[in-house]
Amino acid sequence: MKTAYTADQIRHAERTLMARLPEGTLMQRAAHGLAAACADLLGRVYGRRVVLLVGSGDNGGDALYAGERLARRGARVEAVLAGSKTHEAGLRAFLDAGGRVAEQAAVGEADLIVDGLVGIGVSGALREPYARLAEEANTAHGTVVAVDVPSGVDASTGQVAGAAVRARVTVTMGAYKTGLLVDPGAAHTGTVELVDIGLGPFLPDPDVAALTRADVEDLLPRPGNESDKYRRGVLGVAAGSDLYTGAAVLAVGGALRAGAGLVRYAGTHEPVQQVRAHWPEAVITPLDRPSIEHVGRVQAWLLGPGLGTGDWAHELAARVLASDVPVLIDADGLTLVARDRSLLRRRAPVLITPHAGELSRLIGVSRDDIEAARLEHVRRAAAELGVTVLLKGSTTVVAEEARPVRVNGTGTSWLATGGTGDVLSGVAGALLAQGLGCYDAASVGAYLHGLAGRLAARGAPLTSAGVATAVPEAIRSVHGEPRP
């Protein structure tokens, strides 16, 4: 599990560790790791041009000490002292090693630019001259390395209030910071390299977490010798309408491709015809009235994609949510719930999978505010609604009350196309039916869906059906199995 922490959590751990070590030890450890990462990026260090952007805080000290090490290896290192003060010991060491201080360093001519302007203790928009230097770094041709967190990115939330450095590599010290994993901040970090400075034993429970491939492999259900189609999970799907037939096809396809032992589909005439044609293995119940009494026993329900939002759909949603099994609610189902919150008053678990616009209707917050502060609002929604929330978007996040928010690290921007959310709901619904709780089903489902998106795209546009088709390959890759 990749775990990440807020700035306050990191600072508390640092204070605890520093009390046990000689003064300056942590900074030297950080500078050593930073210098090593910079040297790797430069390849040949001797004669290369390096510019340090040095702020007032400890990040500036890290940059100066790393610059000292690079200068001693023959790099031509200049430092722009942008803060109201400078780390004195770091500056002395830097100058003694042959580093130079420049009023106007040639950022545009540098092979490597080290962003040591601000660290984890700063939030809000960058002030001058930091904002100007951040923009100069972003337009320079040299490689940009951020120290701990790109300047302008809030380390605790990922929020970006104005100008911010866009790094190719972020060298972060001691532990991952929440803002490195969550957009919009995550889009500024590039590759994140972690330098171990000894904080591990002093870190609290994480603020957020991201599943690794090994975590997903451990959580994924696998059939055993005693398995049959019922033991492998039976998912009921109430989705699609005469107007939106494709949503039903995609949701059922996602569920079958993700390993559900049996999918029971219930819908009206047109989507029934389409599901039957595409997925003959699904057990189909045509509905002439909004009832699920003849569908048969299921272990979880998927409700909502393409269902419509009229009285008929509302009644069917009420029947599904009156059942005693977990229910995943997506798309039109979320619109129905936003209009009638009483539908969520149930004892069995609920997983909702909104995008920012749908969550906006559920909790009465603007879409823009949700996009700018995804962690804050996904946590609020989980607590206020009493459900597990998978918030889709450039960073998909999963929240359940009293647990760390999970951040999904897979995916591709090609997934921003119609119908991919229906596939995701089918994948996560299948995992619910196979026995995973809402928190794990959402997290594993997002991971597999994102990985399937990468496999389906491979750098080119994809279709939602193609994502569903790639789900088995994504599962095989998690298990380390070769393609057939």
- CATH number of the domain within which 405 lies: 3.40.1190.20
Residue 484 has pLDDT above 60, yes or no: no
Q: Is 123 annotated as a binding residue?
A: yes
Q: Do both 246 and 188 map to the same domain?
A: no
Q: Do both 259 and 236 map to the same domain?
A: yes
Residue 451, SS3?
Answer: helix
Q: Is 229 annotated as a binding residue?
A: no
Return the higher-pLDDT residue of 171 and 123: 171
Give Cβ neighbours of residue 45 (< 8 Å, ≥ 6 apart). 39, 70, 73, 74, 75
Q: Is 130 annotated as a binding residue?
A: yes
Q: Is 60 annotated as a binding residue?
A: yes
Q: Is 248 annotated as a binding residue?
A: no
Last residue of a domain, one of 181, 206, 231: 206
Q: Do both 299 and 370 map to the same domain?
A: yes
The 8 Å CB, 24+ separation contacts for 396-405 are 396/446, 396/450, 397/182, 397/208, 398/439, 398/442, 398/443, 398/446, 400/438, 400/439, 403/439, 404/3, 404/205, 404/206, 404/207, 404/208, 404/209, 405/207, 405/208, 405/209, 405/375, 405/378, 405/379
pLDDT of res. 483: 63
Q: Is 318 annotated as a binding residue?
A: no
Last residue of a domain, one of 138, 173, 206: 206
Residue 105 has pLDDT above 80, yes or no: no
Cα–Cα distances (Å) from 257 to 232, 271, 387, 471, in that order, read: 13, 19, 26, 6
Query: CATH no. for residue 125?
Result: 3.40.50.10260
Q: Is 355 annotated as a binding residue?
A: yes
Q: Is 58 annotated as a binding residue?
A: yes
24-41 as b/e, with b when 16 or more CB fall inside 10 Å? eebbebbbbbbbebbbeb
Q: Do both 187 and 328 map to the same domain?
A: no
Q: Is 392 annotated as a binding residue?
A: yes
Q: Do both 111 and 88 map to the same domain?
A: yes
Q: Do both 162 and 247 map to the same domain?
A: no
Q: Is 148 annotated as a binding residue?
A: yes
Q: Is 62 annotated as a binding residue?
A: yes
pLDDT of res. 198: 97
Q: Is 407 annotated as a binding residue?
A: no
Q: Do both 198 and 280 map to the same domain?
A: no
| pTM of this structure | 0.92
For the chain, percent helix, then strand, then coil, each to nearest 5? 45, 15, 40
Q: Do both 192 and 92 map to the same domain?
A: yes
Q: Do both 197 and 289 map to the same domain?
A: no
Q: What is the pLDDT of residues 220-231, one digit of tens each?
A: 998 776 666 667
Range of the domain at 6: 2-206
Residue 320 maps to a domain: yes
pLDDT of res. 459: 79
Structure tokens at 387: 């459900």
Q: Is 422 annotated as a binding residue?
A: yes
Last residue of a domain, one of 206, 231, 257: 206
Q: Is 393 annotated as a binding residue?
A: yes
- The total number of structural domains in the chain stands at 2
Structure tokens at 314: 């509302």
Q: Is 450 annotated as a binding residue?
A: no
Q: Is 306 annotated as a binding residue?
A: yes
